[in-house]
Structure 1
Amino acid sequence: MKKTFFLFLLFANTLFAQSVDDLFDSANDFYKNEKFEKAIELYHQIASKGTISVELYYNLGNSYYKINKVGPAIYYFEKALKLDPTNEDAQNNLIFAKRLALDNIEELPKNIFQKINVNYLQQLSYNQWAIVSVVFSFLACILFLLFYFANSSAKKRFYFGSSIVGFLLLVISFSITYNQFLFFKNNKEAIVFAETSAVKNAPTFNSEDVFILHEGTKVIVLDALDNWKKIKLADGKQGWINAKEIKEL
């Protein structure tokens, strides 16, 4: 009975994989033939099955870019970079997509620690940093065991020093992992999807407009109240926007 059930699961998983692959191939064919709306429809079908990848988000971004949908194009290029921050194709196409956005928001000057965080540490996600921490933990443990079982004093000194370095790297990488997790948890990014959106000074429709945003602008979500989101721009401006007009990454 167990064997039959296992074979059934294996067969079902194989059919599911073939179905997703067939959809992806069909969507790519539609894209090549410039039938971008149909390609988008099939890409979303793949995503609805729980199958996500850099390639899927990247292709969705390209498809939306081709039909001049700035908000969704930027959104899916950003989603691709969430999975792989080093993907050069997504980085380059995101630059082109942002040129179509109307809002030109200048970022506040960054201090040296913020620059290091953006330019280097954020090149890996916190999940990837967690893997680095695990690797260093194994390395440190192995070096300590080699120190413990070494016969000569020279080898003991070498392995002891190396294990100390390994444990220091473990502590540093774990600290980076934790800080990156807190950063992404407390800095929820979103993309404006509405063509034009009025940002208000309070979470009500009759409150005063403080500034206007357009499709494709990235914002940081600070808080939520009913159907409103409190947002912050790269230049430091803050306000409340209708939750339906943005989409969180």
Structure 2
Amino acid sequence: MMKKLFLLLVLVVATVGAQNANTIFSEANALYKNGEYQKAIDLYEQVVASKEISSELFYNLGNSYYKLNKVGPSIYNYEKALQLDPLNEDALNNLIFAKRLALDRIEELPKSALQKFNINYLSKLSYNQWAVITVLFSFIGAILFLLYYFTQTPARKRLFFTTSIFSFILLIISLAITYHQYNKVMNTVEAIVFVPEISVKNEPTKNAEEAFIIHEGTKVAVLDEVDDWKKIRLADGKIGWLKSGDIKVLNIF
């Protein structure tokens, strides 16, 4: 009995929390439309803190920061919106505009044909979306196999057998893509620079020799961490160390 009451209480709290987050989100949208961008940001950040997140929330938050010419936070939130929904074209387009405000122009290393295919096609869907496709192919394959098993007509049996085999092949492919995309997300840690200018060091010490300089809004890959230092890599392959507080990690919720 106590367990049921506890579960009911959790459900009620979660429902009230979601309704409250939706109310705050609507109020923030109204403030944004009235040009009160900082007030809108304060409310959007409250929703983020409540964990009632969505791609639209980060997109609107990115727009608010962009209106205030805050390069790092705007890029960060557009990136967050795309993490949750890689097909969010509005966030992708606005991210391009926001990146133009950043000072650094970093040329990416050449990519192989397989890497380009992954970026241009496979990565357009998140690993969760690929998982849904995998489950869908498993259902289709199972239904087609049952139809093959129970059908008596030779022509139909051949048809159902062929299509079921094809579905299971697609199932294996989509499962492999899901696994690859999941590992990529889990093993790739990226961050956005949040300070106007950083002197990146060769070693994780204050007095180490300067390796290069980067500016607010630059996206980096985080490779390692030592105390309050993070080892980062740029898109052009440069590697160095900077203070953890100078960047904000694009963590997965």
Normalising TM by the smaller chain, what interval? over 0.9
Cα separation, partners in 2 of 1:223 and 1:10, compared to 1, 3 Å: closer
| Equivalent residue, structure 1, for 2:56 | 55
8 A Cα contact 1:232 1:239, kept in partner: yes
Normalised to the residue count of structure 2, the TM-score between the two structures is 0.93
Offset at residue 97 of structure 1 (A): 0.4
CA contact (8 A) 1:186 1:222 kept: no
Q: Paired residue for 1:224?
A: 225
For the structure 1 residues 126 and 12, does the alpha-carbon distance in structure 2 shift closer, same or farther, using more than 3 Å as the test? Answer: closer
Change (3 A) 1:11 1:226: closer
Q: Distance in 1 between matches of 2:234 and 2:14?
A: 44
Tell whether the 8 Å contact from 2:24 to 2:47 is kept in structure 1 after alignment.
yes
User: Secondary structure at 1:212's aligned position in 2?
Assistant: strand
Identity %: 59
User: Is the alpha carbon distance of 1:14 and 1:113 closer, same or farther for their aligned partners in structure 2, counting shifts above 3 Å?
Assistant: closer
What is aligned with 1:212? 213
Per-residue CA deviation, residues 157-200 of structure 1 (Å, 9 max, x unaligned), is: 11111111011101111111111112222221111111111111
SS at the partner of 1:44?
helix
For structure 1, the residue ranges without an aligned partner over 5 or more in a row are: none
Corresponding residue number in structure 2 for 1:156: 157
User: Could you tell me how far 1:5 is from its partner in structure 2?
Assistant: 7.3
User: Helix, strand or coil for the counterpart of 1:247?
Assistant: strand
- Alignment correspondent of 1:93: 94
Q: Give the structure 2 partner of residue 130 of structure 1.
A: 131
Matched, 1:121 2:113: no
Moved more, 74-83 or 185-194: 185-194
**Given that residues 196 and 212 in structure 1 are in contact (C-alpha distance below 8 angstroms), is that contact kept between their aligned partners in structure 2?**
yes
Query: How far off its partner does 1:60 sit?
Result: 0.5
Residue 33 (structure 1) aligns with: 34
CA drift of 1:20 comes to 1.6
Q: What letter corresponds to residue 39 of structure 2 in structure 1?
A: K
Deviation at 1:37, TM superposition (A): 1.0
After superposition, the Cα gap between the structure-2 partners of 1:212 and 1:7, relative to the gap in structure 1 and judged at 3 Å, is: closer
Distance 1:8 1:156, change over 3 A: same
Q: Which residue of the partner structure matches residue 42 of structure 1?
A: 43
Question: Quick one: distance in 1 between partners of 2:198 and 2:225?
Answer: 17
Distance 2:248 2:76 in 1: 8
Q: How many residues are paired up?
A: 249
Q: Give the aligned residue type for 2:226.
A: L
Computed over aligned residues only, the root mean square deviation of the Cα atoms, in angstroms, reads 1.7
Q: 2 CA distance for matches of 1:115 and 1:57?
A: 27
Does the Cα contact within 8 Å between 2:149 and 2:157 map onto a contact in 1?
yes
Q: Is the CA contact 2:18–2:52 (under 8 Å) kept in the aligned structure 1? A: no
Report the equivalent of 1:198: 199
Q: Tell which deviates more after alignment, 46-55 or 178-187.
A: 178-187
